[in-house]
Structure 1
Amino acid sequence: MSNLFTAIQALVLLKLIFAHILTDFFLQPTSWVKDKEEKRIKSQKLLFHIILTFLTVWLFSRNFLVALFIGITHYGFDLLKIYAKDKSVKSFILDQVLHFIILIISWLYIIKGFNQFSNLFTSILADFKTWVILVSYVFCTIPLGILIGLATKRWREDVNTSKEESLNDAGKWIGIFERILILTFIINNQYEPIGFLIAAKALLRFKESDLKRTEYVLIGTLISFTLTISIGILVKMVL
């Protein structure tokens, strides 16, 4: 945590997060989830889940108003999720982000730290190192992927004549996570894992029978690794 918050204040937030994880993932049986999806607002299991959420938060926070606030908002978010009928990853992440925002608001209310949080947020926005790292990570995802795609375009058109099928956008996301890992390793002075990552990917690709596809992927991989490592070194020099 920042120096603006004490260890005791941080502990309050950890307890709220633990209460959320406990009730939303461990104390909610699959049968309850199915019942909520089938009966929606009339589901008794949904009511049980909210009551359990309220009691658990009250137990860990010792604050009735916070427990009530979290319970009511949790009920609203669950109803939105149920009626949206969206079980995608984006929906799950959005749901958890909304819950986390409520936890942050509740935590700040308990510790009376709204001014402290405002000062922390302002200091983060004004921190040069934070922006350097943020920009480098953002650039290494989609923008760098587009650049690599343009650099390998002439080979991709040749490989696309192959009848071999692949997962939709799998290569795109593999590349994004690959570059995020490499940049993280570079920033934290962990160079050894990069070698293992290159070796593992090379071994997997050389098992393929399609030589053109193998060469195409390895070219893209080497371009991706080279550019990301260069960005990582540049970030370290700037910092």
Structure 2
Amino acid sequence: MWAVVIVISLAALALSAVVGWALVKWVFQRISPAPTPGVLRGGTWIGVLERVLITGGILVGMPEVIAVVIAVKGLGRYPELRETDDDLRGGVAERFIIGTLTSFLVAAAIGVGGRALILAIS
């Protein structure tokens, strides 16, 4: 049984990272087809890590991880958002919020689905 739980967990984590990346990219193309100047560095990798952490936290029954991820991301990005040129700040902040919410929704949905599946087989 543990092998099945591990397989489900790894599949959920991978699915969260890949589906989240594709969905966030798709959403960004819909709101801003042209490249946006001043985009925050490392956003793709940070997004993958945040989805893996959120999905993993839900899978192990610790949804508190979501609050930690939100706090760390907000505090870590605040200086960059604040230092962005005034004429670019609105677009960069909008992408940050939309990307974060899209990423969190995907991670939470996959985490809840994976946890339900694990609990169903237990």
Same structural fold, with TM-score higher than 0.5 when normalized by the shorter chain: yes
1:130 aligns with 2:6: yes
Partner of 2:104: 225
2:83, 2:117 → 1: CA distance?
41
User: What is the CA deviation profile of residues 19-46 of structure 1, one whole-angstrom value per residue up to 9, with x for unaligned ones?
Assistant: xxxxxxxxxxxxxxxxxxxxxxxxxxxx
Whole-Å Cα distance in 1 between the matches of residues 39 and 111 of structure 2?
33
Partner amino acid, structure 1, of 2:4: F
**Which residue number corresponds to residue 58 of structure 2?**
186
Instruction: Quickly say closer, same or farther: Cα 1:142–1:200, change in 2 above 3 A.
Output: same
TM-score, reference length from structure 2: 0.75
What is the identity percentage for the equivalent residue pairs of Structure 1 and Structure 2?
26
For residue 15 of structure 2, what is the aligned residue in structure 1?
139
**Superposition deviation, residue 157 in structure 1:** 2.9
Aligned length: 111
1:176 to 13, 34, 48: 48
| Larger of the two Rg values belongs to structure | 1
Shift of the 129–196 alpha-carbon distance from structure 1 to 2, 3 Å rule, reads closer
Gaps in structure 2 of 5+ consecutive residues: none
RMSD: 2.4
Report the CA distance shift for 1:165/1:143 in structure 2 as closer, same or farther (over 3 A).
closer
CA distance in 1 between counterparts of 2:40 and 2:49 reads 18
**How has the CA–CA distance of structure 1 residues 179 and 128 changed in structure 2, closer, same or farther, with 3 Å as cutoff?**
same
CA change 1:154–1:193 in 2 (3 A) is same
Aligned pairs (5 A) from 1:33-112: none
Separation in 2, partners of 1:230, 1:157: 27
Selected match of 1:207 from 77, 82, 89:
82
Q: What residue ranges of structure 1 are gaps of 5+ in the alignment?
A: 1-122
Distance between the aligned counterparts of 2:25 and 2:39, measured in 1?
19
Q: Tell me the equivalent position of 1:24.
A: none
User: Is the partner of 1:189 in helix, strand or coil?
Assistant: coil
